[in-house]
Amino acid sequence: MIPVTKPFLPPMEEYQELLKGIWDRNWLTNNGPLVNELELRLKQYLNLDHLLFLSNGTIAIQIAIKALELKGEVITTPFSYIATTSSVVWEGCQPVFADIDKETFNISPESIEKHITDKTSAILATHVYGNPCDVEAIDAIAKKYNLKVIYDAAHAFGVKFRGKSIFEYGDISTTSFHATKLFHTVEGGAVITRSPELLKKMAFLMNFGHDGPEKFVEVGINGKNSELHAAMGLCNLSHVEKILKKRKEDYLYYQYSLQPLEFISQKIHKETEYNYSYFPVVFNSEADVVKVMHELGNNKIFARRYFYPTLDVADYLETSSEISVAKDIASKVLCLPLYYTISKVEIDMICRIIKRSLRYN
Ligand SMILES: *Cc1c(COP(=O)(O)O)cnc(C)c1O
C-alpha cells in the first residue's frame, strides 16, 4: 500500500532520551522546558522574531483572528483545507471567497480587491502547497484599505521568500505541525508575528487569558501544547534538512518520470526557496483525475484530491462569489504520494500507472 503521505518518525531512541528527562522532571505541560526549547530552536532555525507553539494549526488561525479582533467579512481562498474557512466562521466572521490565480493556485490579489466592502476587516490567504502568495500585492491592498493580513502557512515550513522565512509575512502567520505535514510534532501548530504586542496578546489568548494565577485579561482558550509533543518536534527538527533534501529529489524525480505526460504544475515564484511539500498534478479534465485515481487505487496506491471540493460548498455557508478558476483547478488536481520513505521504484510505478491509464506510453 502506498498512501498519499506517511508521517516521518525519528529513531525511537532519540525520542526515548527526551522522555527520560520528562519523567525525571515530572513536568508534562504548561510552558515546560521542552516547549521553550522547541520555540527557541524553531525561531533560530527559521530566523523568526516571535513564535508560539500551539496545540494545532486550526487553533492557531482562531487565535490569530481573535488577536487581531476581526469583525465582519474576511476575504479568503476557496482553495485550501476546510480549517481555513471554518476558523473564520467559528470566530463569528463571514468568509468571502476571492478567486485564485490559475498559475500559482494562490488567492488572486485582483480578485481580493473586487470583493472588498465596507465590512471587510482582513485577508486570510493560504500559501497553497507551500507556494508563497503574492505577498507584496496583498500587502499593498491591505495598506490601501486598512485591512489586517493573516497567512495560513500550514504547508510552508522551511519556505523562504526573498531570503527570509515566509512565516515573517503578514500581521500574523499560522502554521500546522500535524503528523502529515513536512515538519511535525504529532499534533501541533504555531503563530508567528513580528509584533511584540500581538505576541503578548496571543500568549494570553492561548492560556485561558491568565495573567498570573488570579488575573484574567483576555477571553482565552486552551491552545497550549505538551512536553511530549515538543519532544517529537525537537527530534524531528534535527532531521528536517534531510527531509527537505529527500523531498526535493522525489519531486524532481516525479517531474522527470511523468514525461511526456501533459499536465499543469504549480508555478512557484522564482525568488522562492521551496520546500517541495506536495506533488500536485493538474490534469486536462476531471474525468482524467477519476480514471487515474481508480487505476492507482486498483494497485493500492492512494492519491488525494487536495483540494477538492472548493470550500464554498460547506453546508454552513451561503456564498455567491464567482470563483471559476478555483472550481476548475479543484476539479482537475490530484496530489501524488510524497513522503520521506517513498522510494524511486515506487515513484516509477506510480508514474507508469498514470501514463498507462491516460495512454501516454
Ligand atoms: C493542515 C492544515 C490546517 C490545519 O492544521 P491542524 O494542525 O491539522 O489543525 C489548516 N490549514 C491548512 C491549509 C492545512 O493544510
255, β-bridge pairs = none
Question: Among 262, 62, 32, 24, which residue's Cα sits nearest to residue 150?
Answer: 62
Q: State the pLDDT confidence band at 360, using cuts at 50, 70 and 90.
A: confident
Report how far ligand 1's centroid is from the alpha carbon of 310 (Å): 15
Residue 352 has pLDDT above 90, yes or no: yes
Q: What is the average pLDDT across 282-288?
A: 96
Summarised one tens digit per residue, pLDDT across range 245-263 is 999 999 999 999 999 998 8
Q: Return the ligand 1 atom nearest residue 188 CA.
A: 7
Q: How far is the CA of 292 from the centre of ligand 1 (A)?
A: 26
Burial class (CB in 10 A: 0-12, 13-18, 19+), 214: exposed
88, 67, 73, 170: which is closest to 120 by C-alpha? 73
Question: Does the beta carbon of 189 sit less than 6 angstroms from any atom of ligand 1?
Answer: yes
Per-residue model confidence (pLDDT) at position 319: 85
Give just the sign of the alpha carbon dihedral 181, 57, 198, 138.
positive
- Structural domains for the chain: 12-237 (3.40.640.10), 241-357 (3.90.1150.10)
Pocket test for ligand 1, best of 89, 152, 229 (most atoms within 8 A of CB): 152
Which atom from ligand 1 is nearest to the alpha carbon of 180? 1
Distance 117 CA to ligand 1 centre (A): 28
Ligand 1 pocket: which of 59, 61, 107, 176 to mutate (most atoms within 8 A of CB): 176
- Which pLDDT does position 63 carry in this prediction? 98
Residue 85 near ligand 1, beta carbon < 6 Å: no
- Contact 53 CB / ligand 1 (< 6 Å): no
Q: For residue 307, say if its preceding peptide bond is cis, omega within 30 degrees of 0.
A: yes
Sign for the CA dihedral angle at 69, 71, 75, 81 comes to positive
Closest to 3 measured CA to CA, from 285, 300, 216: 300
Atom of ligand 1 nearest to the CA of 155: 15
105-163 pLDDT, tens digit per residue, is 999 999 999 999 999 999 999 999 999 999 999 999 999 999 999 999 999 999 999 99
Is the Cβ–Cβ distance between 97 and 77 less than 8 Å?
yes
- Mean local confidence (pLDDT), 152-176: 98
Indicate if ligand 1 lies below 6 Å from the C-beta of 58. yes
Distances (CA, A) of 138 to 31, 181, 285: 34, 26, 31
Q: How confident is the model at residue 225 (pLDDT cuts 50, 70, 90)?
A: very high
131 within ligand 1 shell (Cβ under 6 A): no
> In the prediction, which pLDDT does 361 show?
63
124 lines ligand 1 (CB under 6 A): no
* Residue 198 clears pLDDT 90, i.e. is over it: yes
Report the nearest-CA residue for atom 13 of ligand 1. 81
Q: Which atom of ligand 1 is nearest to the CA of 80?
A: 13
Cell 487553533 sits at which residue? 59
**Contact 84 CB / ligand 1 (< 6 Å):** yes
Q: Please provide residue 123's backbone torsions phi and psi, each rounded to the nearest 5 degrees.
A: -120, 130
Distance in angstroms (rounded) separating the CA atoms of residues 229 and 77? 30
Give 198's strand partners: none
Give me ligand 1 centre to Cα 190, in Å. Answer: 11
Rounded to the nearest integer, the mean pLDDT of the chain is: 97
22 contacts 38 by C-beta, under 8 angstroms? no
Give all strands of the β-sheet with 172-176 in edge-to-edge order. 50-54, 189-193, 172-176, 148-152, 120-126, 73-76, 94-97
Dist. CA 99 → ligand 1 center (Å)? 20
Residue 83 CA to ligand 1 centre (angstroms): 6
Residue whose CA is closest, atom 5 of ligand 1?
57
pLDDT of residue 320: 85
d(CA 219, CA 27): 26
Q: Does residue 226 have its Cβ closer than 6 Å to ligand 1?
A: no
Residue spans of alpha helices (H) in the chain: 12-25, 33-46, 57-67, 82-90, 109-114, 135-145, 196-205, 227-237, 240-257, 286-298, 324-332, 344-357
Q: So what's the pLDDT on residue 263?
A: 87
Q: Of all residues in the chain, what percent carry a pLDDT higher than 90? A: 97
What is the mean predicted confidence (pLDDT) over 311-330? Answer: 95
